[in-house]
């Protein structure tokens, strides 16, 4: 065989391999839910560029996962869409009784509840789930259940939660139990095998049996999650019947393609992170908004990892943070020299709002704003300079102030994260502002893991990062307690500021164990004041969620009602209520031209291969 013939044969073999691969791909992608397609389910498709971290409620941790779980499962009491207060009208629990000692809580459930496979959903399932989460210290729920001793079912519609100490957390006066309830008849087999439980992919209706309005029926990794109506949904009977048959979460590789899909109508709703894309969509007639979400961004400060000691023991000073930052005056001066509103306008293009407290507005304990009794820490460079002058930080000849205690210049390392563009974009602003008050920063960029390690080691001065707190502030307040400081460079704790204040700790414990919810709110606000005064975090802004939908859909129920997320709320109500403006809005597009183009391209390809083979053969004949 001549070389040309050999090459031609190789090509043909290659084509065959690819053809077989294609057959494999086609076979693999055929859908089990095809029957539904033929009857034309009314589908609502929302999209983002973030794939679920996992559909398993023991494993996943992203907001994306929570949105899907909120459709598939119930939490005992839902957050009201208006203001995050308990919403018994739209929950499986209808009331809660609290014992006089504040340690026993009796939950009354609706009767006749069923799982998506038709099995009865009873108080046993709730008690089993809570005990299971507690037993294995499941990360997503460990904080909420920290005070719980055990849960037990009294009958099919009543379960009792026993607390280790008096508290208002479980009283139902506010929503604290953010626990997705699992069916015992599906998950019970993992009672003694947590590892196996975590490997449940939860990507088909047999595994993902739930009680919510939509059940996961298919997940194609990095492509889409499909959820179909739960035929046994309890909400149907109480005015919560979904308008659509199917919800699809489509996962794009990039936001430009997602925006294109929204414009062409192949998706109905999209989440974005780039303001310019949202602005473009807006200019092209797509409905957009920047929704308020609890996520915030702060400049964290090493308030003394290397210097503070714990009188009670358990903390070893470590790291090399600047001593000057242990002085609250320096931190307050930095606060006064940073103008969050400018950063919101320039860096976030207006899609954020300036922040004062790590407890977000709209948290279950209500809004808090700095009052007359709080120090004035508003943006004022002159006032910041004055504060530092008064505290003895004299300006050096090079324009950098000197710490009178150590004789060292006020020069701080400032870490941004490689994956977080705003944390990098704010650097020139912060650098310039702090220069004006005689503080020099040394900006560096690290990846998140590295920065985590640096914080654990205490080898930092300032960094930019953020949190996404729960509606209840307990967890986010906890990260500022002394016990949350990493006790040494090898053990993780949640504090990244090394803030330690016995007065604050005392209040933290008090809010945990106060039975009166109104009193708890007072204490929480007092704690917010302390954090504002002491500035372990220089709060920058509350993020907004950038979202857009086509004009074809209506019925969104934002949470909170004022400027909240249109769709991904803490419960399923918006998905239940969403519906097309007209029936035509949901009609799929054609594309017969595309089919012809592809067919022609394939034919052209086949002709080229055939020609090559023919030529090869002919040259063999010529030779013969």
**127-186 positions binding another protein, by CB under 8 A:** 137-144, 146
Q: Which one of 237, 561, 587, 598 is in contact with another protein (CB under 8 A)?
A: 598
User: Is the CB of 271 or the CB of 393 nearer to another protein?
Assistant: 271
Give the interface segment with another protein, choosing from 269-277, 329-337, 434-442, 596-604 (CB under 8 A).
596-604
Give which of 291, 283, 189 is closest to 557, Cα–Cα.
291
Other CB atoms within a 10 A radius of the CB of residue 137 amount to 11
Helix (H, G, I), strand (E, B) or coil at 140: coil
Q: Which one of 260, 382, 561, 610 is in contact with another protein (CB under 8 A)?
A: 260
Q: Least distance in Å: CB of 485 to another protein?
A: 11
The 218-257 site mask, x for binding another protein (CB under 8 A), equals: --xxxxx-x-------------------x-x-xxxxx-xx
HEC states along 79-107? ECCCCCCEEHHHCCEEEEEECCCCCEEEE
* Phi and psi torsions of 464, nearest 5°: -115, 125
Q: Least distance in Å: CB of 271 to another protein?
A: 15
Is residue 107 a contact point for another protein (CB under 8 A)? no
For residue 194, give Cα distances in angstroms to 133, 136, 151, 319: 10, 7, 19, 36
Is residue 286 a contact point for another protein (CB under 8 A)? no
The alpha carbon of residue 277 and the mean position of all alpha carbons in its chain are separated, in whole angstroms, by 21
Is residue 509 a contact point for another protein (CB under 8 A)? no
Q: What is the DSSP string of 321-351?
A: --GGGGSHHHHHHHHHH--HHHHHHHTSTTS
Helix (H, G, I), strand (E, B) or coil at 120: strand
User: Is the CB of 438 or the CB of 572 nearer to another protein?
Assistant: 572
Q: Which one of 238, 594, 603, 610 is in contact with another protein (CB under 8 A)?
A: 594
User: Is the CB of 238 or the CB of 594 nearer to another protein?
Assistant: 594
User: Is the CB of 154 or the CB of 611 nearer to another protein?
Assistant: 611
Q: Which one of 85, 104, 444, 494 is in contact with another protein (CB under 8 A)?
A: 494
Q: What is the DSSP string of 372-440?
A: TTS---SS-HHHHHHHHHHTT-EEPTTS-EE-TTT--B-EEEEEEETT-HHHHHTHHHHHHHHHHTT-E
Give the interface segment with another protein, choosing from 30-38, 153-161, 501-509, 560-568 (CB under 8 A).
30-38
Strand runs (DSSP E) across 144-238, as ranges? 148-155, 158-163, 214-220, 224-229
User: Is the CB of 154 or the CB of 596 nearer to another protein?
Assistant: 596
Is residue 7 a contact point for another protein (CB under 8 A)? yes
Other CB atoms within a 10 A radius of the CB of residue 528 amount to 23
Give the interface segment with another protein, choosing from 80-88, 103-111, 499-507, 593-601 (CB under 8 A).
593-601
Q: Which one of 57, 60, 212, 438 is in contact with another protein (CB under 8 A)?
A: 60
Q: Which one of 9, 240, 261, 328 is in contact with another protein (CB under 8 A)?
A: 261
Is residue 198 a contact point for another protein (CB under 8 A)? yes
Q: Which one of 70, 215, 456, 578 is in contact with another protein (CB under 8 A)?
A: 456
Return the residues of window 411-430 that contact another protein according to CB under 8 A: 419
Q: Cβ distance 55 to 70 under 8 Å?
A: no
Is residue 13 a contact point for another protein (CB under 8 A)? no
User: Is the CB of 131 or the CB of 266 nearer to another protein?
Assistant: 266
Is residue 451 a contact point for another protein (CB under 8 A)? yes
Q: Which one of 170, 393, 465, 504 is in contact with another protein (CB under 8 A)?
A: 465
Return the residues of window 328-387 that contact another protein according to CB under 8 A: none
For residue 551, give Cα distances in angstroms to 45, 131, 287, 443, 574: 14, 45, 7, 44, 16
Other CB atoms within a 10 A radius of the CB of residue 524 amount to 26
Is residue 15 a contact point for another protein (CB under 8 A)? yes
Return the residues of window 303-322 that contact another protein according to CB under 8 A: none
Q: Least distance in Å: CB of 218 to another protein?
A: 8
Query: Rounded distance, CA 281 to CA 278, Å?
Result: 5
Is residue 488 a contact point for another protein (CB under 8 A)? no
Q: Least distance in Å: CB of 265 to another protein?
A: 8
Is residue 280 a contact point for another protein (CB under 8 A)? no
Residues across the chain: 624
Query: Rounded distance, CA 273 to CA 544, Å?
Result: 9
Is residue 476 a contact point for another protein (CB under 8 A)? yes
Return the residues of window 529-558 that contact another protein according to CB under 8 A: none
Other CB atoms within a 10 A radius of the CB of residue 603 amount to 10
Q: Cβ distance 455 to 463 under 8 Å?
A: yes
User: Is the CB of 6 or the CB of 519 nearer to another protein?
Assistant: 6
User: Is the CB of 100 or the CB of 449 nearer to another protein?
Assistant: 449
Q: Least distance in Å: CB of 318 to another protein?
A: 16
Give the interface segment with another protein, choosing from 58-66, 154-162, 312-320, 563-571 (CB under 8 A).
58-66
Is residue 469 a contact point for another protein (CB under 8 A)? yes
Q: At what angle do helices 592-623 and 3-29 cross, to 10 degrees?
A: 150
Is residue 263 a contact point for another protein (CB under 8 A)? yes
Helix, strand and coil in the chain, % to nearest 5: 35, 20, 45
Q: Least distance in Å: CB of 114 to another protein?
A: 25
The tally of CA atoms less than 13 A away on the side-chain side of residue 425 is: 14
User: Is the CB of 121 or the CB of 176 nearer to another protein?
Assistant: 176
Q: Least distance in Å: CB of 30 to another protein?
A: 5
Query: Rounded distance, CA 25 to CA 409, Å?
Result: 63
Give the interface segment with another protein, choosing from 164-172, 360-368, 462-470, 579-587 (CB under 8 A).
462-470
The DSSP letter of residue 579 is E
Return the residues of window 61-90 that contact another protein according to CB under 8 A: 61-62
How many residues contact another protein, by CB under 8 A? 113
Is residue 610 a contact point for another protein (CB under 8 A)? no
Give the CA diameter of the chain. 104
Q: Which one of 481, 484, 501, 574 is in contact with another protein (CB under 8 A)?
A: 484
User: Is the CB of 319 or the CB of 409 nearer to another protein?
Assistant: 319
Could you tell me if residue 250 is left (phi over 0), alpha (psi between -120 and 50 degrees) or otherwise beta?
Answer: beta
Beta carbons within 8 Å of 70's beta carbon, 6+ residues apart: 212, 569, 570, 571, 572
């Amino acid at each position: 065989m001549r070389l040309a013939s050999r090459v031609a044969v190789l090509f043909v073999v290659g084509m065959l391999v690819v053809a077989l691969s294609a057959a494999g791909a086609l076979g693999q992608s055929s859908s089990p839910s095809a029957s539904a397609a033929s009857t034309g389910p009314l589908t609502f498709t929302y999209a983002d560029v973030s794939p679920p971290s996992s559909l398993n409620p023991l494993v996943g941790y992203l907001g994306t996962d929570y949105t899907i779980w909120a459709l598939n499962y119930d939490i005992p009491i839902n957050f009201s869409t208006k203001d995050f207060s308990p919403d018994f009208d739209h929950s499986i629990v209808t009331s809660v009784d609290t014992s006089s000692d504040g340690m026993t809580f009796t939950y009354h459930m609706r009767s006749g509840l069923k799982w998506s496979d038709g099995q009865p959903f009873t108080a046993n399932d709730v008690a089993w789930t809570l005990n299971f989460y507690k037993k294995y210290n499941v990360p997503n729920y460990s904080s909420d259940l920290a005070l719980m001793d055990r849960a037990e079912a009294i009958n099919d519609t009543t379960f009792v939660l026993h607390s280790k100490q008096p508290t208002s957390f479980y009283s139902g006066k506010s929503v604290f139990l953010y626990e997705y309830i699992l069916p015992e008849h599906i998950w019970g087999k993992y009672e003694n095998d947590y590892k196996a439980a975590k490997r449940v992919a939860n990507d088909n209706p047999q595994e993902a049996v739930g009680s919510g309005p939509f059940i996961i029926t298919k997940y194609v990794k990095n492509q889409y999650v499909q959820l179909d109506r739960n035929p046994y949904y309890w909400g149907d009977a109480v005015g919560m019947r979904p308008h659509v048959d199917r919800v699809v979460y489509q996962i794009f590789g990039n936001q430009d393609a997602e925006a294109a899909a929204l414009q062409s109508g192949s998706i109905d709703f999209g989440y974005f992170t780039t303001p310019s894309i949202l602005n473009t969509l807006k200019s092209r007639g797509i409905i957009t908004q920047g929704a308020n979400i609890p996520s915030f961004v702060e400049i964290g400060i090493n308030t003394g990892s290397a210097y503070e000691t714990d009188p009670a023991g358990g903390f070893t000073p470590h790291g090399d943070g600047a001593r000057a930052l242990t002085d609250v005056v320096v931190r307050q001066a930095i606060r006064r020299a940073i103008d969050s509103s400018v950063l919101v306008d320039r860096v976030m293009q207006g899609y954020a709002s300036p922040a004062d407290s790590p407890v977000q507005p709209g948290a279950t304990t209500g809004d808090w704003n700095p009052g007359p009794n709080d120090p004035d820490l508003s943006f004022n460079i002159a006032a910041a300079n004055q504060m530092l002058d008064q505290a003895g930080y004299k300006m050096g000849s090079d324009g950098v102030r000197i710490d009178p205690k150590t004789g060292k210049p006020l020069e701080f390392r400032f870490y941004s994260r490689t994956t977080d563009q705003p944390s990098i974009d704010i650097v020139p602003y912060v650098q310039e502002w702090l220069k004006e008050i005689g503080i020099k920063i040394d900006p560096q960029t690290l990846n998140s893991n590295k920065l985590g390690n640096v914080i654990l080691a205490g080898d930092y001065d300032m960094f930019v990062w953020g949190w996404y707190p729960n509606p209840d502030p307990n967890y986010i307040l906890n990260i500022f307690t002394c016990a949350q400081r990493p006790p040494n460079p090898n053990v993780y704790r949640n504090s990244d500021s090394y803030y330690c204040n016995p007065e604050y700790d005392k209040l933290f414990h008090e809010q945990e164990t106060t039975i009166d919810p109104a009193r708890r709110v007072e204490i929480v606000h007092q704690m917010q004041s302390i954090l504002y005064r002491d500035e372990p975090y220089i709060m920058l802004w509350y993020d907004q969620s950038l979202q857009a939908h086509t004009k074809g859909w209506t019925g969104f129920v934002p949470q909170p009602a004022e400027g909240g997320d249109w769709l991904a709320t803490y419960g399923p109500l918006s998905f239940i209520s969403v519906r097309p403006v007209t029936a035509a809005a949901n009609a799929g597009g054609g594309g017969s031209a595309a089919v012809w183009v592809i067919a022609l391209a394939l034919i052209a390809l086949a002709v080229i291969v055939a020609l090559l083979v023919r030529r090869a053969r002919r040259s063999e004949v010529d030779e013969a």
